[in-house]
Amino acid sequence: MADTSDTRTPAQIEADIKRRREVLAETLDEIGVRVHPKTIVGDARAKAVAHLDHTVGRAYVQVNRVVTEVRARFVDEDGSPRVERVLPVALVVVGVVGLLALGSRRRKG
């Protein structure tokens, strides 16, 4: 059986009760802060911002990779344009712009 006799003095018991009340008060304060609506909203906002930052960062890395790959196709290592690849693309762009210009003239006229 367990020994149920208490050999503490009344002053020790009161001090123990006081310490436990302080700990309980701190715990209740922490709980109050955690369940406060502003805290909940702030935590949700922080999570959303972190998720958005992560998503934007991943998108930036992907776009940067694509731009680097496209640039490598049209520019040599020394930075000079690859005419054999740039010229056909430029001609296609000029042709599309020309067709769009002709189409808009016909609609206006």
**pLDDT digits 0-9 by tens, 19-58:** 999 999 999 999 999 999 999 999 999 999 999 999 999 9
d(CA 43, CA 34): 10
* Contact yes or no for 75/85 (Cβ under 8 A): no
Query: Can you give the residue ranges of every domain in the chain?
Result: 10-74, 83-109
Per-residue pLDDT band for 6 (boundaries 50, 70, 90) equals confident
* Contact yes or no for 82/74 (Cβ under 8 A): yes
Whether pTM exceeds 0.75: no
d(CA 38, CA 42): 6
Q: What is the pLDDT of residues 47-92, one digit of tens each?
A: 999 999 999 999 999 999 999 998 888 898 888 888 898 889 899 9
